[in-house]
Structure formats: structure tokens, C-alpha cells
């Protein structure tokens, strides 16, 4: 079953709620933070262009804030999707470690998930994944390693869900991936990071000009 308008609305509202936190983080960036950054060499790199100097830190703050905010986005969207198909979230986030999410579907099975953007293939990760998988099995739970972004793999184990397969699993419909990604794109269309960066840069640049004029740093 395709995502209902209620589910889409809930996901869309959640995505839109992330924007204010990015704005708030950027607004906390002060000229003092920039001028007294722990790496003074950055200032030297832009010594003849204060606009680029300030813009560098503004963009850095936006990126860091957005990446931090996005850290829990997929897990929260998955929670909404699982509930929309009659599933039940098990416990609280603090109880899930080292897993990212635990839930029970209408098939009666309890699933313990690790959710990643890409599948990192190295010995350390493989050992960690194997431990998580074995631990879940010992407790009678189903382990799934989920890669939420489309990734081409020549081969994989059955417990690994990639891209569309993952979204179909948590959303209960083969079109879940495209619908969720469209909601994310629509959120981006309604918000301009470019304007946010330029406006904050201009404000800080004006303050910088006054500071230089009065030699207050």
C-alpha cells in the first residue's frame, strides 16, 4: 500500500522541523568565534578577502549543523513508516544500543536494525556486524543491516537490505523509497541554504567592517 496522505504529512512536517535548528545554530555563530578560531592560519588564507573569510565559517557551521541534525533523520522517518504499516517500536532509543532501531511488525517478528548510508567493507566493521547479528539471533530476534541509499553490490547476505529493498521493508510498499526521497527534495525546494548563508555572511561582514574600523580585535 502506498504511503497515506497522513504518513506523508507527518514525514513532511518532521523534515520541515529540522530547518529552524539549522538556522538557530548558524545564528549562534558570532564574529568573535570567527576571529578567534583555534586555527589562525585560516584567517591568513583569506587575509585580503574578508567576505570569503567569513563565508568560509558560515558554510562550515551550516554543514556541520545539518549533518548533525541529519544523523537521526532516517531513524525517525523509519519509525513513522513502521507505525504506518501497523508495526510497533520496541523500547526507547537509549535501550537500542548498539542497534539503531528495534521494532515489531505484524508478522510477529522483532527486528533489530543497524542503519547506514553506505556499506563499509573492512575487517573491523565486518566483525562488529557479525557480533550484532549473532547477538540478535541468540535472543530470538531478526537482525537487518540496512543501507538506506541505493548502492550497487555484486553480492550480499540475505540480512542486508539495500536501497529500495530497505525502504520497501520498513514502509510496506515498493514505492516507499521514491515517495520518501520526493518529500526530502520538496523540503529542500522550500528552503534556500544559499540565502541563509549569504544573509548571515552579510550581517557578520558588516560587524567585521565596524570592528576593523575601530580596531576592536
Note whether residue 79 is domain-resident. Answer: no
Give the start-end residues of each E strand in 11-140: 88-89, 101-104, 110-116
Q: Which residue has the cell 578567534?
A: 36
Residues 115, 46: one domain? no
Report whether pLDDT(217) > 60: no
Do residue 98 and residue 152 come from a single domain?
Answer: yes
Alpha-carbon distance values, 172 to 65, 98, 167, 169 (Å): 32, 25, 8, 6
pTM of the predicted model as reported, rounded to 2 decimal places: 0.78
Is 177 inside a domain boundary?
Answer: no
Q: Which domain holds residue 29?
A: 5-72+184-214
Distance CA 103, CA 170 (A): 10
pLDDT digits (tens, 9 = 90+) for 43-97: 777 778 889 999 999 999 988 887 777 768 889 999 999 999 999 999 998 889 9
CATH number at residue 125: 3.40.1560.10
Tell me if 115 sits within 8 A of 101, measured CB to CB: yes
Q: How many of the other CB atoms lie within 10 Å of CB of 176? A: 24
> Is 78 inside a domain boundary?
no
Residues 102-118 have pLDDT tens digits of 999 999 999 999 998 87
Residue 124 has pLDDT above 60, yes or no: no
Q: What is the pLDDT of residue 66?
A: 78
Query: Residue 152: which pLDDT band, with cuts at 50, 70 and 90?
Result: confident
Contact 113, 100 (CB under 8 A): yes
In 3D, which of 32, 74, 65 has the Cα closest to residue 197?
65
pLDDT on residue 192: 83
- Does 150 lie in the same domain as 100? yes
Looking at every residue in the chain, the average pLDDT score rounds to: 88
- pLDDT bin (cut points 50, 70, 90) of residue 36 is confident
Tally of domains within the chain: 2
Amino acid at each position: 500500500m502506498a504511503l497515506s496522505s497522513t504518513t506523508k504529512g507527518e514525514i513532511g512536517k518532521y523534515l520541515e522541523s529540522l530547518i529552524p535548528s539549522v538556522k538557530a545554530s548558524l545564528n549562534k555563530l558570532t564574529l568573535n568565534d570567527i576571529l578567534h578560531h583555534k586555527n589562525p592560519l585560516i584567517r591568513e588564507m583569506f587575509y585580503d578577502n574578508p567576505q570569503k573569510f567569513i563565508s568560509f565559517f558560515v558554510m562550515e557551521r551550516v554543514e556541520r549543523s545539518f549533518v548533525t541534525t541529519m544523523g537521526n533523520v532516517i531513524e525517525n522517518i523509519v519509525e513513522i513508516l513502521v507505525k504506518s504499516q501497523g508495526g510497533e517500536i520496541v523500547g526507547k532509543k537509549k535501550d537500542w544500543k548498539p542497534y539503531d532501531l528495534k521494532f515489531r511488525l505484524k508478522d510477529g517478528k522483532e527486528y533489530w536494525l543497524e542503519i547506514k548510508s553506505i556499506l563499509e567493507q573492512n575487517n573491523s566493521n565486518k566483525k562488529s556486524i557479525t557480533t550484532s547479528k549473532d547477538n540478535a539471533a541468540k535472543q530470538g530476534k531478526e537482525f537487518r543491516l540496512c543501507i538506506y541509499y541505493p548502492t550497487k553490490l555484486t553480492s550480499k547476505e540475505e540480512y542486508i537490505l539495500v536501497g529500495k529493498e530497505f525502504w520497501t521493508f520498513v514502509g510496506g510498499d515498493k514505492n516507499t523509497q521514491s515517495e520518501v526521497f520526493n518529500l526530502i527534495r520538496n523540503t529542500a525546494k522550500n528552503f534556500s541554504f544559499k540565502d541563509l548563508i549569504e544573509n548571515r555572511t552579510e550581517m557578520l561582514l558588516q560587524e567585521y567592517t565596524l570592528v576593523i574600523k575601530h580596531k576592536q580585535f
